[in-house]
Amino acid sequence: MSLTPAPVLDAPRLILRGPERRDIAPMIAFLLDRERAWGFGASPDRGEAWRWFALNVGHWHIHGYGYFTIEMKGTGEAAGITGIWNPEGWPEPELGWVVFDGFEGRGIAHEAAARARQWAYEDLGFTTLTSNIKPGNMRSIALAERLGCWFEREYDNIHMGTDLLYRHPGPDAALDRDDDGSVEAYA
Amino acid sequence: MSDYPDIPVLSTRRLVLRGPEAGDYPDFKATFASYRSRFMGGPLNSYEAWMLYAAEIGHWAIRGFGMWMIHDKATDETLGMAGGWFPAKWPEREIAWIIWPEKSGKGYALEATHAVRRHFYERQGWQGAVSYIDPKNLDSIRLAERLGCTRDPEAATIDGSDAVYRHPAPPVAASGQIRDGIELEINHYCDPLFKPKGMPID
C-alpha cells in the first residue's frame, strides 16, 4: 500500500504540489511563529508543529485532498500553503491559504488559492466551498473578498473557537463558466 | 511526497498488519475517545482523534516507517495498532502499540509487536528501540517485559512522566531465550494447552 499523493498544479508564477520533506523546516518555522500563524492556528511547540506536517500528509491520504505547498517557479522556494481542509469536526470543506514570511504583498496567496479552488471545482467536483477566518484577520478577509466570497455566519470552531465562515462563489461563478455575455453572468 | 514509501504488509499466525486506511478510522476513534487511551494522551475529542490518525499516516511519509493497523487474519476486523513511532521531540525510535479495549487479553499486542520488531531489526536495520510507557500502565509494562525489554532509568524521556523500556538489541532479540519464549507464548494463545471446560463458580 502506498499513500495518496497530491497532484501538481500549474499557475502563472507558481506550482502547487504535495508536501515534501524539504517543506518541513519552513512549515515548522511558520507554525511556531505565533504572530504569523495566529489566524491559522499556531503550534505551541516543535513537536506539535511536526505533527501538523505529518497530519497534512495523512489528510491527503484520507480525503484525497489537503494543503499543497506553494512553490515559486524559478527559485523553487516554498512560499506558503493552500488547499482544501476538512478534518473531523470541521463545518464543511474549506479553502485555506497561508503565505510564509517574505512572500506577502505579491498576490501569491490569491493566485494559489484561486488555482486550488479551480482544482476543487473542476477535478474534485466540489459544488461549494467555504473559508474559515478568525475574527480580526483582516488580510485574510480582504483576500476572501477578492476571491468573491461573502460572510455567511459566525460559528464555534472545535479547534479555533469563534470563527467566521465565508462562502465562495460556486463553480460557475468562480470559473466564469456562465460567460455568454448576458447580464446575469455579472449580477 | 513523490517519494512516499510503500507500506509493507506483515503477516503473522493470526494477524495481518497493513497501513492505516480511512475506513479503519472509526475503530481508532472509538478507542481514542475512551478511557482506554488515557496512557496515550487521550481521551481525545473527535477533531483531536482524527488529527492524530492523520498524523500516524503521515508519519510513514516522513520517517519511512510508522504504525500499522492490526487486522484479524480470518475476519479482517481491526484489533489495534502497532509499529514504530518517532515524531519530533521523541528522544529515540519507539515501538508502540494499542489494542482496542474489547480485543485485549488475547496476545494480539505481543504477536504484533514481535513481528514489527523483527521487521525493523531484520529488514530496516534498526539497532535498537525503546517504548515510552506511563508508569501506571501496568499492562503495557508487562508486555514490554514479555518482549524482553528492561527499564532504562538513564534514558531520556519524552516529558518526564513516562518510563523508558529498552528493547533487547537485535542479536539478543533473535536469541532463543527471547524469541522462543515469545513464540511459545503466542503458540499458547493460538492453541491453548489447557482448555478449561467451563468457568469455575466462586
**A187 pLDDT more than 60:** no
**B198 pLDDT more than 90:** no
- DSSP for residue A178: T
What are the tens digits of pLDDT across the range B33-76? 999 999 988 999 999 999 999 999 999 999 999 999 999 999 99
Residue in chain A nearest B159 by alpha carbon: A47
Residue A18: its chain B contacts at CB < 8 A?
1-2
Instruction: Count how many pairs of residues, chain A against chain B, have C-beta atoms within 8 Å.
Output: 109
What band does B2 get if pLDDT is binned at 50, 70 and 90? low
Using a CB–CB cut-off of 8 Å, the residues of B that contact A are 1-7, 9, 18-19, 21-22, 25, 29, 45-47, 49-62, 87-89
Of A15, A31, A55, which to mutate for an interface test with B (greatest number of B Cβ within 10 Å)? A55
Q: What pLDDT score does A22 carry?
A: 95
Cα gap A22→A163, rounded to integer Å: 32
CA quadruple B190, B191, B196, B197: dihedral sign: positive
Please give the residue that has the higher pLDDT: either B2 or B63. Answer: B63
At A59, the amino acid letter reads: H
**A178 pLDDT more than 80:** no
**A33 pLDDT more than 70:** yes
Q: What pLDDT score does A158 carry?
A: 94
Strands in A78-85's sheet, in edge-to-edge order, are A9-10, A14-17, A67-72, A78-85, A94-99, A130-133, A161-167, A150-157
Q: Domains in chain B and their CATH numbers?
A: 10-190 (3.40.630.30)
In terms of DSSP bridges, do strands B94-99 and B163-166 run parallel, antiparallel, or are they unpaired? unpaired
Residue in chain B nearest A90 by alpha carbon: B47
Residue in chain B nearest A17 by alpha carbon: B1
Q: Does residue A86 contact residue A93 with C-beta atoms inside 8 Å?
A: yes
A49 interface with B at CB cutoff 8 Å: yes
Domain ranges of chain A: 9-186
Is B59 close to A46, i.e. CB distance below 8 A?
no
A1 interface with B at CB cutoff 8 Å: yes
**A66 pLDDT more than 50:** yes
A57 interface with B at CB cutoff 8 Å: yes
**B24 pLDDT more than 60:** yes
Cα gap A110→A53, rounded to integer Å: 23
For residues B5-24, give the mean pLDDT.
Answer: 96
pTM here is: 0.93
Cα gap B2→B16, rounded to integer Å: 27
- DSSP for residue A164: E
Task: Give the minimum alpha-carbon distance from B48 to chain A in angstroms, rounded to a whole number.
Answer: 8
Query: What average pLDDT does the structure give for chain A?
Result: 94
For residues B153-178, give the mean pLDDT.
Answer: 96
What are the tens digits of pLDDT across the range B91-150? 999 999 999 999 999 999 999 999 999 999 999 999 999 999 999 999 999 999 999 999
**A165 pLDDT more than 80:** yes
Residue in chain B nearest A57 by alpha carbon: B58
Alpha helices in B138-175 (DSSP H): 138-146, 170-173
Q: What pLDDT score does A146 carry?
A: 97
What are the tens digits of pLDDT across the range A48-58? 999 999 999 99
Stretch (H or E) spanning B15: strand B15-18
Q: What pLDDT score does B200 carry?
A: 65
Per-residue cell: A72: 515559486
Interface predicted TM-score of the whole assembly (ipTM), two decimals: 0.92
Overall fold of domain A9-186? Aminopeptidase (3.40.630)
**A180 pLDDT more than 70:** no
**A185 pLDDT more than 70:** no
Q: What pLDDT score does B117 carry?
A: 98
Q: What pLDDT score does A2 carry?
A: 87
Q: What pLDDT score does B195 carry?
A: 72
